[in-house]
A and B are shown apart, each in its own frame.
Chain A
Amino acid sequence: MPGKRAIKKKRSDTEEPSVSIEYLLVKYSDQRAVLADGDKVGITNHTMILPANEYSITLEGAGYAPASQDVVLAGTSVMRPMVLVFQ
C-alpha cells in the first residue's frame, strides 16, 4: 500500500506492523564519520540506528580497508547490532 512504512513484526507479539529500525556498530581504530551510501549516518565505535536497508558502508577520509562493505542491515536488535570492522 502506498505511503506506508517499512514493516516488520512488532516485538510485543501483536499483529500491528512497526517501523524497522536497525542497529549498526562500525569498528575502526580512530573516530571517523560513517557513511551509508555516501550519507553521513554516525561515527565509528558507537552503536548507531539506521532504517533497515541494503547499504554500502564506507568511512570518511582515506587509508582504511576494505574500501567499502556491502551489508543487508536487518534482523538486528539493541543487544545484537550488526558489527563491521575496518582496518
Chain B
Amino acid sequence: MKQYVAILLAFGSMLAGCAAHFQDVPLAQGHVNEERRIHSVARPDQPVILVAISGGGSRAAALGWAVLEKLKRTSYTVGGQTMRLIDDIAVVSSVSGGSVIAGYFGLNGPDGLDGFDRAFLRPDNMRALELHALNPFTWVRLKSTGNSRIKLLQELLDREIYAGKTFDALNQPGKPLVVLNSTDMASGEVFSFLPSRFDDICADFDAEPLSTGVSASAAFPILLTPVALRNYGGADCNSGPMPPWITAVLDKQFTRYVNLEEFNRARYAYDLRRGPGASRQIDYLYLLDGGLADNLGVNALMDVIDSAHGAAIISGSKGGIETILNAVNVGDITRLAVVVVNARTEPPNPVSVKASRPGIIGMIDSTTSVPIDSSTSRGMDQVDTLLSELQAAPQGDAAGLRVYKIQVDFDLFRAQNATEKALSDAVKKIPTSFSISGDQVGVLERSAEVLLNDSPCFQRLLLDAGVVESDGMAQYAVKGCPQLADRPAIRPASTDGAVAPARAAATAR
C-alpha cells in the first residue's frame, strides 16, 4: 500500500493546483431529476431488505458481493411461488469499496451478479492503476483536460464494469435504490448520489456517469484526488422552487433543538441552493471517500428509513408510492431486515509497538484511517438504537413490525471455533486495496456464508418466511432474534383505542 501511496503522491504533485475538471452537467431547461426507482411490496408479510456495505477496497466489494450472492441463493415459497431474498432488497447504501459492488448490482441486477468476480475481483486493479499513473502520456493527457488521478479510477471502473453507463441506467422502476455516499471535503457532510441532492446543485442526475459516483465514494484521501462537481444551484435553476420542507425546517422555532440532524440537513440543502442569507457560499464541491463521514453507509440508510420527506420508493399493497416510514406506519411493511456488511479489519498497527515516532507516511495513514474506523463504530451504535426503537414501536400488537438486524462483521467470528478463527485470521491479512487474490475472495465468500448462517436474525428471517432447517435452528432464531410478536400483547392504557401499524394494515383491508 505504501508504495502505491508514494507513486501516486509523486504523480499527484505534478498535477497539483490544476484547474479542476467538473464532472457534472447542469439540468436542461424544463428538466427535473425524478426518482423513478420503485420497490413493490405485494404483501405486508413480504420482507423488505435494506443493505449497507462498508468501505474497505476490494475486500469490501468482495464481501458485499458474497452477501448478495448468498441472498440470491436463498429462496422461500409463498402461495406456490418461489421468491429469492435478493429480490426483496429495496435499498443498498454504500461507501468506498462497497460502492463498487453496489453500483454493479444496481446496474446489472441479481442475475448479473455472477460476472462481478471475473470483471472486477480477478484483475490486478492496483497494477493497472500503477501502470497508468507512471505513464508520462497519462500525465499530459490528464493535465491537458484538467483531470487528476481520480480519473484513472473512473476509467478503470468504466473499462472493467460500468461501460460508461450513467445513473439513468440505475434510476429505473423495479431497481433497488442504490445510494452511493461520499464526503463533501469542505463541510464534512455526507454527499449522497441521489436525484434530490442533484436537484440541490441543479445538476443532471441521470446524465452523471456511474463511475463518477463510485469513485467519489472511494476517493481515499491523499491516495486519490477528490471528484469535483460544480454547483449550478441558485434562483435561476430549472429544477423548480425550493422544496417546502427545507424552508419549513429552517423557519421552525424548535427543530434545531430537538433534531439537529434535520436542521443541518435542511441548512446544507439551503446553502447548496443558494437560498437568501445562506450560511455558506458553495460554488464547487470536492468529494472524498464516504468513509470519512460514515464508513458503514448507514447514515443514508437511516435517513431512508425514518425521514418523513425521503424518497418515495415503496409501492404497497394499498396502492400509491410511499416512503418507507409511511409504509411502516400504515402496515404496508411488517418485516424489515437491515443487513450491515462491515468489511473493516483490525490489522496490527505498528505505531503502538514502536519506540520511534511515526514518519510522514505513518501519520498520513493514521489521520486518514482513524476517522474512518471511528465513524464505523459510531454508525453501528446508531443502527442498533434505531432498530430497537422501530421494533418497540408497535408494542401491544401481536402482528407488529418485525425487525431483523443482520450483521456481517468479522468481529463476530468466534475465537473458540476453529473454522471461524481461521477465517478471522485470514481476513485480517487482506489489505485495503483494489487488488485481491482468488484465495482471498474465497475466504470472503466463506466468511459471508458463515456469518449469515450464524446470524440469529438471518435465521429468524428464514424461519418467518417458512424456511426452517431444523428445530434446533428454529429455537436458535427465536431465542437470538426475539420479536414483539413472540410475547403476549399488553395494550398501553394511554393510547385508548390506538392500533399499532401492522394491525392498521389489517383493518384498512
Contacts and interface: CB of A to CB of B under 8 A. Distances in A.
Interface of A: 1-7, 10, 16-21, 23, 25, 27, 31, 36-43, 45-54, 56, 72-74, 78-81, 83
Contacts of A78: 392-393, 395, 492
B262 A23 contact: no
A5 to B, nearest CB: 5
Interface of B: 183, 187-190, 244-245, 248-249, 252-255, 258-262, 264, 293-294, 299, 302, 306-309, 322-323, 325-326, 328-331, 378, 381-382, 385-386, 389-390, 392-395, 492, 494-501, 503-504, 507-508
A37 B393 contact: no
A16 B249 CA distance: 26
Given A2-B264, A42-B330, A37 B258 contact: no
Contact of B244 (A17, A38, A43, A73): A38
A52 B325 contact: no
Given A2-B188, A10-B385, A25-B495, A47 B258 contact: no
A51 B495 contact: no
The SS class assigned to the B binding surface is helix
A5 B299 CA distance: 8
A56 to B, nearest CB: 8
Contact of A3 (B294, B381, B385, B508): B294
Contact of A43 (B245, B255, B330, B390): B330
Contacts of B393: 21, 23, 47, 49, 78
A23 to B, nearest CB: 7
A31 B385 contact: no
A37 B504 contact: no
Contacts of A42: 326, 329-330, 501, 504
19 contacts: A3-B183, A3-B189, A3-B293, A6-B259, A6-B260, A7-B260, A31-B507, A37-B248, A39-B245, A39-B309, A41-B325, A41-B326, A46-B330, A49-B329, A49-B389, A51-B262, A52-B259, A53-B258, A79-B492
A21 B306 contact: yes
Contacts of A3: 183, 188-190, 293-294, 299
A25 B393 CA distance: 12
A19 B326 contact: no
Residue of A16, A17, A39, A50 most packed against chain B (CB within 10 A): A39
Contacts of A21: 306, 386, 389-390, 393
Given A49-B328, A49-B329, 16 more contacts: A3-B188, A18-B382, A19-B389, A37-B245, A37-B308, A37-B309, A43-B508, A45-B499, A46-B329, A46-B331, A46-B504, A47-B501, A49-B390, A54-B253, A81-B495, A83-B494
